[in-house]
Amino acid sequence: MTEPNNLDTLLKENRTFEPSAAFIAQATVTDESVYQSASEDPQAYWAQQASYLSWSKPFSTILEWDPPHAKWFSDGVLNVAYNTVDRHRENGRKNKAAIIWEGEPGDSKILTYDMLGREVDKAAHMLIHLGVKKGDRVVIYLPMIPELPISMLACAKIGAIHTVVFGGFSASSLKDRIIDADARLLITADAGFRRGGIVPLKQNVDQAIIDTPIEKVVVVQRVGADAHSTMIDGRDLLWHKLIETMPKTPFAPEPMHAEDTLFILYTSGTTGKPKGIVHSSAGYLVGANTSMRTVFDIKDDDVFWCTADIGWITGHTYLVYGPLSAGATVVMYEGAPDAPDRHRFWNIIEKYGVSIFYTAPTSIRTFMKWGHDIPQSHDLSTLRLMGTVGEPINPEAWMWYHEHIGHGRCPIVDTWWQTETGCAMIAPLPGLIKTKPGSATKAVPGIAVDVVDDNGTPVTPGHGGNLVITKPWPSMLRTVWGDDERFRKTYFGQFSGMYFPGDGAHLDEEKYIWILGRIDDVMNVSGHRIGTMEVESALVDHPAVAEAAVIGRAHDVKGQAITAFVTVRDGVKTSPELMTELKNHVVVKIGAMARPEEILFTAELPKTRSAKIMRRLLRDIAEGRALGDTTTLADPSVVDSLKLQYQDKE
Ligand code: PRX
């Protein structure tokens, strides 16, 4: 099988792929000078991109930059829902499919822009009816069903701030987010379908909202009788009943200032507490919309499928705001790639004639494992462009994607970005840039990135260091909800005036960027970002645990897998049962994506003499590498016994 990215394999990679003449002939961006002009005058570039949106009051200032705070287009007024839905009803796309939705059990639904607009308006009336006002937070905890984008867009229409919580998060994670966002309304479903099973969302909500400010819960009926959810009188309301009673009249979009918050999305950091990333209305949408044209080359007849869940930033930007702002047709699929069998994704591409496909390297590695005869038995000839996101893609997976899915015909856009950046930052423009398997290539026009050493000095080509973004950009996060100091310290505390995303990168001789992954205490498991501290906090929350250290070790499909080293309290006996119990405890505290792959019990954790856990050593042990410097260890024998245990396990 494949090995995830490591510098040795990347440095040996020398294949290059020029855009084909056929692709160039139809590409949206083919003038190379855009890079130069955007870098000379980024503000002019972004102002021009902003003109693709409809403003109810045009902006006169472009950027106000008071590091680390940026304001973009600040005196402009617009409404994001108007820009993503209503204007397309008025500009000839009224009957065009906006969302093609496919449910996991096989049901499906197509919402034209007009139908979507009417649903959003009813939901907007419903939010107002429930007392939601501009600026209020609404928590959305839904499966991948049409009511999810409808709820988000309804919030945008009335000026409420949505915070979507991925349906895989546990009740406890949901509760933390509700409290942090101080939300009074929550929208959920009775349950969701996942890989043939049922995810008990409403049951999680019932637990999560105890001792929180939530006053009302709107419940979409997705599963029905099997969901076993009970409705509480006066608190819980059924979506379909309530919405029927709403006025059928259009809802006038709330005029929003450019800098008004559109949404908060929580993501993991280096501490135990997730951060609420705050995104603005106009700047975010300008970024999302621009990348649809530049990176994804979107055209009116494209069918765009991003396989991410809307609960993550990729789904926010490339299932909802980006493609809809561009008036595109998006495919939204509710379930797993192997439900009911491993043909599901390729069936969907065939069924709807998907032309642009955007997925994660971990999925590609899973498809590789399943064998290329599966996609080969499908007609994938409608595909013309493919993307990847979420983690470094190893060259072998890139080549497999290129050959077996794209049939050598489709450019691949490897897009590096983050929850905080709002949209793709480093990615090829597919009609212009030659690609190299494993490299996200170069920053997109209007984005200034560099690779610097630990003193903040740019490295010369052929060297590695810390990835930084050196200038503000429209879709950058504005702050961390309720904690501006954390925003300042986390992102701008490392290198003065520069944004530090937490990734390491290598700059090659042609100034291509090769992302090497996180260099902080954040793991990337199947493209999901999970803090080591979050998992450690979940483990020490269990009464049997005295201390825990968690690392992400290389894994051939997931990119990284979670390994936990645990010391138990005096008198506790370790056993395989306890191991399972601890894994389940992490699932209950965070969610299934954070379940440790393995737990090793140890009498001691390797620590420096100043009592700092040496994670680097733990990673070396878990990845079977020769151990680096152990001289700073307080008790070097700890490492030997751990190594022996790890070998025994294998
Ligand atoms: O480490 C980088 C990795 O994912 C992190 C951001 O995670 P999140 O905020 O959850 O957003 C994921 C989807 C945008 C980054 O710090 N990452 C994302 N895309 C890539 C990547 N690493 C390498 N190559 C990419 N294309």
> Where is average pLDDT lowest: 112-121, 310-319, 452-461, 519-528?
519-528
> Which residues are annotated as part of the binding site?
194-197, 314, 390-392, 414-419, 503, 518, 526, 529, 540, 542, 545
> Where is average pLDDT lowest: 241-245, 550-554, 618-622?
618-622
Distance CA 256, CA 76 (A): 8
Pocket of ligand 1, candidates 6, 275, 477, 515: which has the most ligand atoms within 8 Å of its Cβ, to mutate?
Answer: 515
Cβ–ligand 1 contact at 531 (below 6 Å): no
Work out which ligand 1 atom sits closest to the CA atom of 502: 16
What is the mean pLDDT of the segment spanning 245-255?
A: 97
- CA 559–ligand 1 middle distance (angstroms): 12
Q: Whose CA is nearest to atom 14 of ligand 1?
A: 418
Cβ–ligand 1 contact at 438 (below 6 Å): no
Q: Whose CA is nearest to atom 18 of ligand 1?
A: 390
- CA 391–ligand 1 middle distance (angstroms): 5
What is the mean pLDDT of the segment spanning 203-214?
A: 98
Pocket of ligand 1, candidates 413, 529, 532: which has the most ligand atoms within 8 Å of its Cβ, to mutate?
Answer: 529
- CA 423–ligand 1 middle distance (angstroms): 11
Pocket of ligand 1, candidates 278, 309, 391: which has the most ligand atoms within 8 Å of its Cβ, to mutate?
Answer: 391
pLDDT tens string 505-525: 999 999 999 999 999 889 999
> Where is average pLDDT lowest: 134-148, 215-229, 415-429?
215-229
Q: Which helix (H) or strand (E) holds 137?
A: strand 137-141
> Where is average pLDDT lowest: 155-169, 302-316, 560-574, 604-618?
604-618
Q: Would you state the pLDDT for residue 538?
A: 97
How would residue 648 be classed by pLDDT, with cut points 50, 70 and 90?
low
Distance CA 430, CA 412 (A): 7
What is the mean pLDDT of the segment spanning 248-263?
A: 98
Q: Whose CA is nearest to atom 4 of ligand 1?
A: 390
Assess contact for 338 and 112: CB atoms under 8 A.
no
Q: Whose CA is nearest to atom 24 of ligand 1?
A: 392
Q: How far is CA 569 from CA 232, 305, 480, 600, 637, in A?
A: 41, 49, 36, 14, 20
How would residue 217 be classed by pLDDT, with cut points 50, 70 and 90?
very high
Q: Would you state the pLDDT for residue 267?
A: 97
Cβ–ligand 1 contact at 417 (below 6 Å): yes
Q: Would you state the pLDDT for residue 1?
A: 34
For helices 171-181 and 576-589, give the axis angle rounded to 10 degrees.
Answer: 30
Q: Which amino acid is at 56?
A: S
Work out which ligand 1 atom sits closest to the CA atom of 517: 1
- CA 518–ligand 1 middle distance (angstroms): 9
Assess contact for 395 and 439: CB atoms under 8 A.
no
Q: Tell me what percent of the residues of the chain surpass a pLDDT of 90.
A: 88
Cβ–ligand 1 contact at 502 (below 6 Å): yes
> Which residues are annotated as part of the binding site for CoA?
194-197, 314, 526
Dihedral Cα 26, 310, 480, 473, nearest 10 deg: 0
| Residue of 529, 548, 422 lying closest to 169 (CA atoms) | 529
Q: Whose CA is nearest to atom 8 of ligand 1?
A: 418
Work out which ligand 1 atom sits closest to the CA atom of 529: 10
Helix, strand or coil for residue 257? Answer: strand
What is the mean pLDDT of the segment spanning 3-27?
A: 84
How would residue 649 be classed by pLDDT, with cut points 50, 70 and 90?
low
What is the mean pLDDT of the segment spanning 164-185?
A: 98
What is the mean pLDDT of the segment spanning 195-199?
A: 92
Cβ–ligand 1 contact at 281 (below 6 Å): no
Q: Would you state the pLDDT for residue 5?
A: 56
> Which residues are annotated as part of the binding site for Mg(2+)?
540, 542, 545
Assess contact for 594 and 634: CB atoms under 8 A.
no
Query: Phi, psi at residue 77, to the nearest 5°?
Result: -130, 135
Work out which ligand 1 atom sits closest to the CA atom of 308: 13
Cβ–ligand 1 contact at 416 (below 6 Å): yes
Q: How far is CA 510 from CA 18, 275, 506, in A?
A: 14, 36, 11
- CA 303–ligand 1 middle distance (angstroms): 24
pLDDT at residue 216 above 70? yes
Dihedral Cα 622, 628, 633, 638, nearest 10 deg: 40
ipTM: 0.99
Q: Which amino acid is at 548?
A: A
Q: What are the helix (H) ranges across 209-354?
A: 239-244, 282-294, 313-315, 322-325, 344-352
- CA 414–ligand 1 middle distance (angstroms): 11
Helix, strand or coil for residue 579? Answer: helix
pLDDT at residue 484 above 50? yes
Q: Would you state the pLDDT for residue 613?
A: 86
Distance CA 316, CA 32 (A): 29
Assess contact for 286 and 73: CB atoms under 8 A.
yes
- CA 427–ligand 1 middle distance (angstroms): 12
Distance CA 73, CA 66 (A): 14
Helix, strand or coil for residue 60? Answer: coil
CA-CA-CA-CA torsion sign (370, 372, 377, 382): positive
Cβ–ligand 1 contact at 309 (below 6 Å): no
More confident call, 146 vs 270: 146
Cβ–ligand 1 contact at 311 (below 6 Å): no
Helix, strand or coil for residue 114? Answer: helix
Q: Would you state the pLDDT for residue 87?
A: 98
pLDDT at residue 2 above 50? no
pLDDT at residue 105 above 70? yes
Tokens at residue 21, please? Answer: 């003449």
Q: In the block, which residue shows the tokens 């501006």?
A: 484
Work out which ligand 1 atom sits closest to the CA atom of 518: 1
Residue 22: CB atoms within 10 A of its CB come to: 10
Q: What are the helix (H) ranges across 401-521?
A: 484-492
Assess contact for 456 and 436: CB atoms under 8 A.
no
pLDDT at residue 425 above 50? yes
pLDDT at residue 25 above 50? yes
Phi-psi region of 624 (alpha: psi -120 to 50; beta: other; left: phi over 0): left
pLDDT at residue 323 above 80? yes
Residue 492: CB atoms within 10 A of its CB come to: 16
- CA 365–ligand 1 middle distance (angstroms): 16
pTM, whole model, 2 decimals? Answer: 0.96
Q: Which helix (H) or strand (E) holds 125?
A: helix 113-129
| Residue of 614, 393, 624 lying closest to 517 (CA atoms) | 393
Distance CA 594, CA 273 (A): 14
Cβ–ligand 1 contact at 559 (below 6 Å): no
